[in-house]
Chains A and B, each alone.
Chain A
Amino acid sequence: MSADTMTDTAQTGNLQRKLHAISNTLLMSLGPVAAAFVLSGVILLILDVNPFSYYGYVFGRGLLSPTGVQATLTRMGPLLLIAASLIVAFRAGIWNLGGDAQFLVGAVFCAAFTPLMAPHVPVWIGLLAGAAISAIFGALWTLVPAFLRAYQGLNEIITTLMMNFLGISLASVLVKLVFLDPNTTVPQTRTLAVEDRLPTLFGTTISSGLIIGLVAILAVHFMMTKTAFGLRLRVVGGNASAAVHAGLAVPLLTVAVFAISGALAGLSGGVAILGQYGNVRADWNPGYSLAVVPLVFLARFNGFAAIGFVGLFSIMSIGAESAARRTGVPNYFTLVTIGILLVMLAISEYYGAKRQKAGA
């Protein structure tokens, strides 16, 4: 067969193959989810809890009740920003495991300065400045790991983990010693007035942080798949030696990845403050980043799939709080479900790869 006819047949089969690929991806993503729910249900049975009523409470609260779904959608905002931050890094082959510190550092500086600024400027300027502050400080917190990785070749897993511990401690030190609100006895920062916060959507309580999160993750997905810059980052992640050989400025690109990833994580902290909390209390650490890492893996670094998994996780974490009260199963159970889900995902990849090999 000549090369010519080969490409021709490839073209006609393109659409069909694409459809096949999409259905395959759906199966590969949803299969593990279904399996994980079944296995978690078995554990619930062992705990003498009816799994149907448990999940009934979870989804009833997290998805079907009006207040619950609003809480779910509000929580999705910061989580989506974290997911965007991780997708940029992981696709470029950078294991940024310091997202929690970048989130907190961004949140603390945002909470420190925005309430001081808000009374003197229009609301939108205050919000923009607050968001910018959080992004900048989130990015700054990746600076040391970025340079160590880019110019010394030092493994970023160690350095981002260490900066994570450092950042979490630093955040609470700052709240307790530096940015303390003098008017309260509780150690916390000044509080941003409700009217100076991000607007809510359509008369609900849903924070517009959701929109910011959606825009961010879609923009990141577009950037990574459709632009030259995103392709350069993926080349660095796919094969760093090939990137050098092709003349890409690998150290600069590496620093850029860290900066973007840190900025998005910091912005996530800013959005949480500007949209929901208004201040940072001492020792506050919601641990979003570590929770989102598995979700991003589940989504195979795909932005659209990540939205789905972040949504599912938000429903489960909001719903589990209510289910805990009704059934006596503490919301730690969500962690077990996520753990099982990840294992199921890895197993499905294992069999997927095996099947692919057999078909080759």
Chain B
Amino acid sequence: MLDAHPSSPSTTPSTEAPPIVTFEGVTKRYPGIIANDSIDMEFRAGEVHVLLGENGAGKSTLVSMLSGLQQPDDGRILIDGVEKPISSPAEALDIGISTVFQHSMLVPSLTLVENATLGRKWWQRPDRSGTAKAMQDAAKRIGVTLDPMAVTGDLSLGERQQAEITRALMRGARFLILDEATAMLTPNDAARLGELMRRLAAEGMAVVFITHKLNEAVAYGDRISVLRLGKKVGGLSPEDLKSLDAQEATNQVVRLMFGTRDTTASADQKPDMSTVDRGAKPSLEVLALYADAARVPLSNLEFKVWPGEILGIAGIDGNGQKQLAAALAGQAPISDGRIVLDGAYIDRLSIGQRRAKGLRYVTDDRLGEGTVGGFPMSINLLLKEIGRMPYWRGGLEQPEAIRENARQKVKDFDIRTPSIDTPVGKLSGGNIQKVLLARELSGSARVVIFEKPTYGLDLANISATQMRIRETAQNGAAVILISTELDELLSLSHRIAVMDQGGIAGIVENTEDARHKIGELMSGVEK
């Protein structure tokens, strides 16, 4: 959301329309937990129905039952008022239910047209040109432009989602589920998706929008249902949403989600400027940095970060942020330029040597590269220290020292784990992030790169992580905070750099009009 001023829905919801899908006392149990506990819900045509809840509240389970991936253990599902199970994805499609998942469900190696024809009878010949035309017509109807012959793997996530929605329309969908659809999108793409949702509802489609972002829920929803710990704890009807203004609606939803807690505080918090000492020597200097990355090459990056300062890096996802972090950490080669840490060049050093000098990198790919999922948490805490004293002596493991370290970190970072021997892959996302923070923030950190540190976490873990980031700066380290959440950057950073196509479009001080300036830099106005 570039301009996060929730606006009320533009179209009038038609509460008169009959429900397409009705849940009556639907319950789904997994070993040890009740994911959905006797949920009653109605999904009507012409309505954007928002399902709101924290991670683990049961949103995904509900979606997988709607899309035919899972079956309820108890309760009834009514389709157009008649009881009918949704026993498979194919059946869901027959009913007219289409789902757009958070992770694209298109085959990367096929073109959009070929993806659109997936699922038809085996022996038929794919009618590529005919399908392409139908696709373009459908896209035009909802105001989307796309190239049907493009290979999916070459497209951005936003473009893929638009293609998926178009495909759903082509299949005659009358019920569209958007599962965390904005989570991976840039603010601009997310706003565009919101408008698209409104248009689809206006055309008479039932839209189910799953999110954990309050402002989006209030801005795009006709009806909001809030889930907590598997139960539907309440919601706002279209009448409520119309009568309340955005702030009141948000407050009411927050009360439902968290009891009484109010979240507006963290968003309005401003960074503490007193920790920054720009008179001192900068901790990190990046001088005319170039790198040949395959997709987004870095060109002529130049910035400084002072001790105690948080430099935010904003930008649409995929504009070189990941490449910048990898180049600074030493994971990717640079082609030209220098990197200076505390006055010494580090660009020729290896990953390990840079770490020894105090450079830390908290990756956003927590299970992909941050940890080895099958290894115990205690080993993952030392993944970057293998062979070092006192955990290894003469190359031999010292189990007691390793265990002691893990116990200490569990205490210091409040890591919730059944045991220090538990494989890290079995922990929740928030606790995996704590393991990474514990590993990267221990010892003498001089420069810490946080890459999308709160992505995919629930609110409690988001605020814990943001507190760690502030602490890191207060302790005198220079912090680089890469994020696609503008609110997060504005509440934490002292300065914010905007990245665009591998370069820096501009760096702004975090003052009153920063939001506006950043918006202009991201949309390429000031070029």
Contacts and interface: CB of A to CB of B under 8 A. Distances in A.
Interface of A: 3-4, 6-7, 10, 226-229, 231-232, 234-235, 238-239, 241-242, 244-249, 357-360
B359 to A, nearest CB: 11
B158 to A, nearest CB: 25
Given A3-B410, A3-B415, A246 B383 contact: yes
A3 B414 contact: yes
A231 B386 contact: yes
Given A10-B418, A239-B369, A360-B31, A3 B386 contact: no
B384 A247 contact: yes
A3 B416 contact: yes
B371 interface: yes
Given A227-B395, A232-B386, A360 B421 contact: no
Contacts of A247: 330, 350-352, 355, 384
A247 B351 CA distance: 5
Given A247-B351, A247-B355, A357-B31, A242 B397 contact: no
23 contacts: A3-B414, A3-B416, A7-B407, A10-B420, A226-B397, A227-B392, A227-B395, A228-B386, A228-B392, A228-B395, A228-B397, A235-B372, A235-B375, A238-B372, A239-B368, A239-B373, A242-B368, A242-B371, A245-B329, A245-B361, A245-B369, A248-B386, A360-B32
Contacts of B525: none
B324 to A, nearest CB: 15
B31 A241 contact: no
A126 B490 CA distance: 74
A239 B367 CA distance: 9
A353 to B, nearest CB: 13
B405 to A, nearest CB: 12
A108 B415 CA distance: 57
Contact of A10 (B351, B368, B411, B421): B421
Of A232, A235, A358, the most chain B CB neighbours within 10 A belong to A235
Interface string B404-428: 0001001100111111110000100
B89 interface: no
Nearest to B330: A247
B369 A242 contact: yes
Nearest to B397: A226
B414 A239 contact: no
Contacts of B384: 246-247
Given A7-B419, A227-B396, A247-B352, A242 B414 contact: no
A239 to B, nearest CB: 4
A241 B407 contact: no
Interface string B353-394: 001000001010100111111110001000110110000100
A235 B386 contact: yes
Given A238-B372, A247-B330, A229 B395 contact: yes
A232 B373 CA distance: 15
Q: Main secondary structure on chain A at its contact with chain B?
A: helix
Contacts of A242: 368-372, 383
Contacts of B463: none
Given A3-B417, A234-B372, 9 more contacts: A3-B416, A7-B407, A231-B386, A238-B374, A239-B368, A241-B368, A241-B369, A242-B368, A246-B386
Contacts of A234: 372, 375
B10 interface: no
Interface of B: 31-32, 329-331, 350-352, 355, 361, 363, 365, 368-375, 379, 383-384, 386-387, 392, 395-397, 407, 410-411, 414-421, 426
A149 to B, nearest CB: 19
Contact of A226 (B31, B368, B396): B396
Contacts of A239: 368-369, 371-373
Contacts of A246: 351, 383-384, 386
Nearest to B373: A239
Nearest to B354: A247
A231 B370 CA distance: 16
Top-9 shortest CB links A-B: A247-B351, A228-B387, A247-B352, A10-B419, A241-B369, A238-B372, A245-B369, A239-B372, A228-B392
B503 to A, nearest CB: 25
Contacts of B31: 357-360
Contacts of B329: 245
Contacts of A226: 396-397
B293 to A, nearest CB: 15
Contact of B411 (A3, A227, A241, A358): A3
Contacts of B421: 10
A227 B387 CA distance: 8
A347 to B, nearest CB: 21
B386 A245 contact: no
A235 B383 contact: yes
A242 B372 CA distance: 6
B396 A245 contact: no
Contact of A245 (B370, B410, B416, B420): B370
A247 B360 CA distance: 12
Contacts of B417: 3, 6
A242 B439 CA distance: 14
Contacts of A358: 31
Contacts of B370: 242, 245
Nearest to A229: B395
A43 to B, nearest CB: 37
A349 to B, nearest CB: 14
A244 B375 contact: no
Contact of B369 (A227, A244, A357, A359): A244
A7 B416 CA distance: 10
Nearest to B392: A228
Contacts of A359: 31
Of A6, A231, A247, A357, the most chain B CB neighbours within 10 A belong to A247
A179 B32 CA distance: 67
A6 B415 CA distance: 11
A115 B101 CA distance: 69
Contacts of B375: 234-235, 238
A234 B352 CA distance: 18
A49 to B, nearest CB: 44
Nearest to B416: A3
B331 A244 contact: yes
Of B32, B365, B369, B418, the most chain A CB neighbours within 10 A belong to B369
Nearest to A244: B331
Of A6, A232, A239, the most chain B CB neighbours within 10 A belong to A239
Contacts of B414: 3
A99 to B, nearest CB: 25
